[in-house]
Amino acid sequence: MKRFYVILSAVALTLSASAQDINISGKPCVGTDQTFEYTLANRYESFEWNFGDGATSSERKPVHKYTAAGTYTVKVTASGANGENADATTSITINNPPVIAFSCDTVGYKTVDFKIITTSTSLKNTWKFGDGSTSNENNPTHKYSAPGSYNVGLTSVDNNGCTSSVDSTITIVPSSKVPNVFTPNGDGQNDFFMISCSEGSRLKLEIFNRWGYKMFSRSGTENIVWDGYNPQGTLVSPGTYFYVITVEEGTTNYDPLNGYITVYY
């Protein structure tokens, strides 16, 4: 009787899957979490991911951040308990977030014009003015209710969902009107050097001659007036004098306002 021998061998089977078998969730932006998932993961026990930028993972559902813009090839190899394998490949394009900045100009007491600086288009902007107020305009104008320092923030989102944020502190100073010339000659016209003070603020006015001697000093919460007389009670000589105005608003001290006033008769 002839005997027949059958030799059985196990062959690992590798299946090629389609790009649709890899799901990627997350905004396609530099520095943003991307979550990767193989749709047939329940059939396999181990996974090897290659994200195309030199990074890898063996997690079932890994999270990865790209540090540079570009298009990357993503590949996953899944292995089962019986030696079967499956490969899937797809690509992902990562975009840079918008580059933004902003400028601001004071157009009146407590009123500020804000302007976004960017080369991007179709941005959705959110401004926070630091006093609880917000705006979605590209270039808003905002009026503050009181002097003080405010942290202004701008957040912009582009069509890819990429987000950038910038912030800066601005200071709203109390208003004060400072003339540059007066004539203390008693003719009833322009006889006084007067500065006005906004409500809730306190001013200190100091006047110096060209040699640095103090001609006048006074503080107050209302108008401050100099009649042209020095501490000795005599009118100062015609010429140019240097003034220093110190502004206080509650516990906030602002940088002094400096300038020149010309006296003539």
Domain boundary among 141, 172, 203: 172
Is 79 found in the same domain as 129? no
Name the residue among 98, 111, 91 with its Cα closest to residue 175: 111
Please state which of the ranges 199-208, 218-227, 242-251 shows the lowest mean pLDDT.
242-251
- State pLDDT tens for residues 10-40: 444 445 555 578 999 999 999 999 999 999 9
Is 136 found in the same domain as 84? no
Classify residue 8: in a domain, yes or no: no
Q: How far is CA 21 from CA 74, 127, 161, 205, in A?
A: 12, 41, 24, 76
pLDDT at 177: 58
Give the CATH number, domain containing residue 114: 2.60.40.10
pLDDT at 251: 57
Is 231 found in the same domain as 216? yes
Classify residue 7: in a domain, yes or no: no
Is 161 found in the same domain as 110? yes
How many residues are recorded in the chain?
265
pLDDT at 189: 82
pLDDT at 259: 84
- The residue among 136 and 195 whose pLDDT is bigger is 136
213 and 109 Cβ atoms separated by less than 8 Å: no
pLDDT at 255 over 70: no
Classify residue 2: in a domain, yes or no: no
Is 220 found in the same domain as 166? no
Find the mean pLDDT for residues 161-166: 95
pLDDT at 12: 45
Is 79 found in the same domain as 28? yes
Domain boundary among 94, 124, 152: 94
Is 206 found in the same domain as 185? yes
Classify residue 153: in a domain, yes or no: yes
265 CB burial (10 A radius; 0-12, 13-18, 19+): exposed
pLDDT at 256: 74
- State pLDDT tens for residues 175-213: 555 678 889 988 878 888 888 765 566 788 899 999 999
What mean pLDDT, rounded, does the chain reach? Answer: 85
Domain boundary among 94, 121, 151: 94
Is 130 found in the same domain as 76? no
pLDDT at 5: 47
pLDDT at 10: 42
Classify residue 234: in a domain, yes or no: yes
216 CB burial (10 A radius; 0-12, 13-18, 19+): buried
pLDDT at 141: 94
Q: In terms of residue numbers, what domain contains 201?
A: 181-263
Is 257 found in the same domain as 191? yes
pLDDT at 252: 57
Find the mean pLDDT for residues 41-69: 96
Classify residue 90: in a domain, yes or no: yes
The rounded distance, in Å, linking the Cα atoms of 85 and 38 is 13
Structural domain count, the chain: 3
Is 33 found in the same domain as 80? yes
DSSP annotation string for 155-185: EEE-TT--EEEEEEEEEEPPP----SEE--S
Give the CATH number, domain containing residue 218: 2.60.40.4070
Angle at 149 between CA 144 and CA 152, to 5 degrees: 75
pLDDT at 105: 82
Is 200 found in the same domain as 147? no
pLDDT at 216 over 50: yes
- State pLDDT tens for residues 73-120: 999 999 988 888 899 999 999 999 999 999 988 765 578 899 999 989
